[in-house]
Amino acid sequence: MVAGLMANSLALISDAGHNLTDALALAFSWWALRIARRAPNHRKTYGYHRAGILAATINAVTLILISIYIFYEGVQRFMQPPEVQGWTVLSVACIALIINLTVAWLLHHDSKDDLNTRSAYLHIVGDAAASVGVIIAGLIEIVIGWRYADPLISMLIGLFILVSSWTIIKEATNILLEGIPDGLDMTSLVRDLMKQPNVEDVHDLHVWTIGRDYKVLSCHLIVQCECSLQDANRTVHDINHMLEEQYHIHHATLQIESESCELNQIFCANPNARN
């Protein structure tokens, strides 16, 4: 930030602001991971898995606010482009790039399975991309002295941050609204449930995500009238095994019935309907 003010570079200032929020985001993500490891209790029967989702959402919102500020400042500088000290911009941005790439490498593996860690990882990747942009802006300023390079690169950085933040908010919102987990095909799931021995129908089917790839399922299964209790238990066991192996659903609540739902639908429209 100090170097950006001294060099009069919006690209470097925006990169500094992004790095500052990333430091806070990493601390917030670490805190959320600590909270998420707490055991369930009588008030939080699912535990604190959603803490990471909340952290990811807050991180993404801060990135969007930063993007808006970068766009605003970029427009102002396009109108009156100031003189920028290219060598200062170039040297500081190179140091930032090395640090960001190192942190991104450390976070890359865990970012695949956890939304909270992925939001922090995208913060750092955004920083690395921003540093590359600042380096380019510095080189252009040094070689040809084109003053529009600094605000232009800044706005491109803001656009990149905006796009990456939107994907995090979209996924986090889907989880908080208990939507179907990404990549899960409900039609295939129903078909696989219907293939199980003794199952005649499936309804009141719900699948949602608690956090960190923690998928939950509940449904009502209509079994054959002549099906014994032992056969029904075996069917439930087989379905649980199938859900774990094929859909990575490790928490399923299956209700066995011998009559169809009054609404006769796979997804019951009325949650209070008698079954």
Structural domains in the chain, CATH included, are: 2-176 (1.20.1510.10), 186-257 (3.30.70.1350)
Structure confidence by residue, pLDDT tens digits, 13-47: 777 776 776 677 677 777 877 887 788 888 887 77
Q: pLDDT band at 259, cuts 50/70/90?
A: low
* pTM greater than 0.85: no
58 or 187: which carries more pLDDT confidence?
Answer: 187
Q: pLDDT band at 271, cuts 50/70/90?
A: very low
| Euclidean distance between CA atoms 80 and 36, whole angstroms | 48
Do the beta carbons of residue 87 and residue 142 sit within 8 Å? Answer: yes
Q: Helices H, strands E: what count in the chain? A: 8, 3
Instruction: Provide mean pLDDT across the span 162-170.
Output: 80
Q: Residue 216 pairs with which residues in a beta bridge?
A: 208, 251
For residue 126, give Cα distances in angstroms to 15, 112, 132, 247, 249.
9, 16, 10, 32, 32
Q: pLDDT band at 127, cuts 50/70/90?
A: confident
Structure confidence by residue, pLDDT tens digits, 84-114: 777 888 888 888 889 888 888 888 877 776 6
Do the beta carbons of residue 89 and residue 138 sit within 8 Å? Answer: yes
CA-based R_g, the chain, Å = 26
Do the beta carbons of residue 39 and residue 140 sit within 8 Å? Answer: no
| Euclidean distance between CA atoms 259 and 243, whole angstroms | 23
| Euclidean distance between CA atoms 11 and 14, whole angstroms | 5
Structure confidence by residue, pLDDT tens digits, 201-229: 898 899 998 876 688 999 998 887 777 78
Do the beta carbons of residue 259 and residue 222 sit within 8 Å? Answer: yes
Burial code (b: 16+ CB inside 10 Å, e: under 16) for 140-152 equals bbeeeeebebbbb
The per-residue pLDDT for 275 is: 40
Burial code (b: 16+ CB inside 10 Å, e: under 16) for 31-60 equals ebbebbeeeeeeeeeebbbbbbbbbbbbbb
The per-residue pLDDT for 238 is: 92
Sequence-distant (6+) residues with CB within 8 A of 174 are 180, 182
Q: pLDDT band at 116, cuts 50/70/90?
A: low
SS3 assignment, position 146:
coil
SS3 assignment, position 14:
helix
